[in-house]
Structure formats: structure tokens, C-alpha cells
Amino acid sequence: MVSKTKRALALVLTAMMAASALAGCGPNNGGGTQNSAASANEGGTASQAAVQDINDPKVKEKIINAMAKEAEANGGKIELTLWCSGDDKPFEKTLVDAFEKEYANSNYEFKITIRNAYGEDKAGGKVIENPKEAADVFNMADDQLSQLVTAKAIAEVGSLFQGNVVANNTDDAVEVCSVNGTAYAFPKTSDNGYFMYYDKRVFKDDEVGCLDDMIKKANENGKSVYFNITGPWYMTAFFFTAGCEITYDVTKDKQVATFNTDQGLAAGKAICHIAESQGKGFEGSPGTVGDNAFVQQGFKEGTLAAAVIGTWAGPTIKEAIGVENVGAAKLPTVLMDGEQKQLDSFGGYKVVGVNAFTKFPVSSQALAYYLTNEDSQIKRYQERGYIPTNKKALEDDTIKNDTALKAIEAQMPYAHPQGTSVGGTYWAVKPETIGSEAYDKKGKLTDDRIKEILQNVVTQLEGE
């Protein structure tokens, strides 16, 4: 009893601490400048000199001159390659065109190629594999940053750009872009996390708090609630919720995930508990088609009433059931250790990095900065629905009232930053096995089997 109260108290305290720390980055808070000053101090090089505004014509001239020098060594051409995610390409193309106009100069011409073969999930790994021929500028998820730094494949953000990045983006966004106090990437979007979309015709806004109740209601309507327990990224939520320690130490390249504890067992059992409803109001796996396709098709055919997924699914869901019927909320509570607990989640960022081996370091940094500045972020929200990291962009009225953003903000106190929680090894050891097996056996796993699976995950991590 004592331990339970203690744990609950600890949870509340952590939540409060998290909330207070995060309040600073919310759009409703006016204290942005103070925060930026504080983090600029951590930023090292940028702290001493006052931040030079990149839109200042003098600064811009300095950049253009440096770019011209790079072009000179390459016959007057600035040749860059940009990697972005599949469907983003047409949109990123418009930004690149705008960049070429903004930095146009008679001393050089641009030749910027956009390729979308390697999305944000793969880009970092591909750059490490062969940095000399990888893209000069690439989009990626923030958790690849630490490996890129270890592999010496990503360039530091120049102090001039760094000052602007620090001043204009939320503290959390700046933090995930930094390793040991040095910024290595440009924050782009803050929505690389998950929350819940639901069909308002099935659930009223106050009915989306408890997963068990939702499953029951969905089942009565002949529909399902979707949570991909076979996906490592999603099912880790249960282990965060149970209080397992999941951390990644960049400098030592050491992954810790205490799944072989009582908390781990509780998480495993909670997964099994919801898996019991598989096919009866709950859907735990997308099959081989992947989350996006599954969610899209589910809403279109009316088999899904709610789904745990991220902003990228928003447009297709809206198209399927109509904007007015789409609701978004933080994750529901789940039954764990006999009580209802709020589900935690990953909260991540998507960032833009510059290749350390690029022939055009200045031009690449200028492009990376341009792709993530205030205007670009607002446009990206308008066109693609991605939530900005830029403080001013977050003040924008339509963005402020976005349902998805509100859901993300509500989930934020329970979101764990991806970059310091997990490194590549975590995904490599297939932590989702517990979810897959629970799904496959409809939750009928013995405690011993749960322990065995979780122990195997830990053993593999230690063996790495």
C-alpha cells in the first residue's frame, strides 16, 4: 500500500515537474525570450556574442559571400542533394525553390536535387553507411542524432545559425538537437509522437479517457479501437507507463531498458489484457500493410472508431470521415496493476541535419536553416499538417487551435523524449516481441512466458 502511494506521488510530482518545465514552450506562454536566453547560455559558442539575426542584410551578405566561395571551387555551381520522406517531396520542392530565390546571386547557380528514397526513419543510418556520397542535407527523426555524432557523420550547426535556432525554437526542440551542449541539427516539427484520433460519431469528447470503456463502446458499435501493440514504437508506451527505466547514454552508446522487473511484468500483463479484446472492439496490429494504410482503410470502411497514431495520418482520416467528425485527444488510461493509469508515449521531433562530409558546408547549413525557419514551418503546417517547433509559428492562430496540436500538448506531460530514451540498439533487439505474441495469442500468455520474453530483450541489450 505504502509503495503504491509513493509511486503515485512520485508520478504526480514528475508530471508536475514535466508540466512546469514544458509550460515555457507552450504557445500561450509569453516568457519565450527568457527561456531562449537561458538555453543560449548552455549553447556554448553562441552565448558570448549577441545573436546575429539571419535576416539582417549584412549577415545574409556574409553567408552569400561564403557560398560564392564554395561555388568557386566547384565551377560556379552549388550542387546539393536533399533527402526527405516520400510524400513530402512536392512540398519540400516548393521550399527549395523559395530558398534558391532567397539566396540567389550572380556568382553561382543552384543545382539542388531532392530525393525521397530514404525517409526520416532511415536517413541517419544511410548517412553513416557512406557519408561521402549521402545527401548534403537530410531529414530524420531525432533519435538518430546520437549515432550520427558518434560516427562523425553529421556537421555541427555553425554558431551563427545556432544562435538563431536557439532563439527561435522551443527549448525542448533545441535540446533534442544537441549532444553534449553542441547543436547538431535544425528542429523541424514537434509531432513525431502519437496520440489518439477518434470518430466523434462514436465517441463523445468525454468518452475517450479510458481504453477499456472505449473498446467496449466500439464493440457495441461493431467497430474497433486501434493501438499497434506489435509496433515497437507504440508498445513501448506500456513500459514507460509501468515505470521501467528506458534510457540511452549517447557517450557510452549504452541502452538500458529494465523490462525484466516487476514493472516490466505489469506492462506485459497490461498489454495482454487489452489484447484479450482483439477482434472484439480492439485491433492490435496493422498486418503487413503498415499503420498508415491500415488506419486509412479502417476509417474509410468504418471498421475503426479510434486509432493511436500521429499527425501524418490526420489528412487521410479527415478525408475518410469528414473533418467535422474527427476528434483528437491524449492517450487513454489503461488497466495496469489493478488500477487505471494514463498511458505514456514517445514524444519526438523531426529534424534536419547536414552531412559532415559535404563539399558545401555553408550552403548546406543555409538550406537546412531555411527549411526550418518560421515561414517554412508555417507553410509546412498549412500544406502537410506538421506541428512547428518555431515559437512564433506556434503563436499562429490556426496552429494554436489545431486539434492535433491540442492533443499533443495534452499528451506532453506523459511524453518521453525519444533521443535520450532509445538508440538504434533498442529497435534492433525487437522489443515488440511481447506485443506480437500477445496479439497472436489474444493475450493468453503465462506470467513465466512474459518474463522470459522480456528477459530476452534485456539479455540482448546487454550482449550488444
> What is the spatial distance between Cα 370 and Cα 123, in angstroms, rounded to a whole number?
19
Identify the residue among 27, 286, 314, 348 touching other proteins (CB under 8 A). 286
Q: Is residue 117 a contact residue for other proteins (CB under 8 A)? A: yes
CA atoms within 13 A on the CB side of 15: 16
Which candidate, 16, 35, 403, 430, places its Cα nearest to that of 191?
A: 403
Range 330-359, binding other proteins (CB under 8 A): 356-357, 359
Segment contacting other proteins by CB under 8 A, of 13-21, 111-119, 197-205, 261-269: 111-119
**Secondary structure of residue 46 in the 3-state scheme:** helix
Give the DSSP per-residue string, 335-346: EETTEEEE--EE
Q: Is residue 372 a contact residue for other proteins (CB under 8 A)? A: no
User: Which grid coordinates are listed for 76?
Assistant: 560556379
Cβ proximity to other proteins, 42 vs 213, nearer residue:
42
Q: Is residue 189 a contact residue for other proteins (CB under 8 A)? A: no
Identify the residue among 22, 71, 112, 128 touching other proteins (CB under 8 A). 128
Cβ proximity to other proteins, 32 vs 310, nearer residue:
310
> What is the spatial distance between Cα 178 and Cα 186, in angstroms, rounded to a whole number?
10
Cβ proximity to other proteins, 291 vs 396, nearer residue:
291
Q: Is residue 319 a contact residue for other proteins (CB under 8 A)? A: no
Q: Is residue 290 a contact residue for other proteins (CB under 8 A)? A: yes
Q: Is residue 301 a contact residue for other proteins (CB under 8 A)? A: yes
Q: Is residue 443 a contact residue for other proteins (CB under 8 A)? A: no
Site string for other proteins, 417-436 (x = CB under 8 A): -------x---x-x-xxx-x
> What is the spatial distance between Cα 118 and Cα 126, in angstroms, rounded to a whole number?
8
- Evaluate whether 122 touches 143 at the Cβ level (below 8 Å): no
Cβ proximity to other proteins, 153 vs 422, nearer residue:
153
Q: Which residue has the cell 482483439?
A: 278
Longest Cα pair distance anywhere in the chain, in angstroms? 74
Neighbours of 448 (CB within 10 A): 8
User: Which grid coordinates are listed for 267?
Assistant: 506492462
Range 11-50, binding other proteins (CB under 8 A): 45
Range 444-463, binding other proteins (CB under 8 A): 452-453, 456-457, 459-460, 463
Strand partners, 249: 254
CB of 36 to other proteins, least distance (A): 18
Q: Which residue has the cell 543560449?
A: 40
Neighbours of 377 (CB within 10 A): 27
Range 70-89, binding other proteins (CB under 8 A): 81, 83, 85-87, 89
User: Which grid coordinates are listed for 95?
Assistant: 521550399
Strand partners, 336: 339
Range 203-262, binding other proteins (CB under 8 A): 253
CB of 9 to other proteins, least distance (A): 34
Cβ proximity to other proteins, 392 vs 441, nearer residue:
441
Cβ proximity to other proteins, 406 vs 449, nearer residue:
449
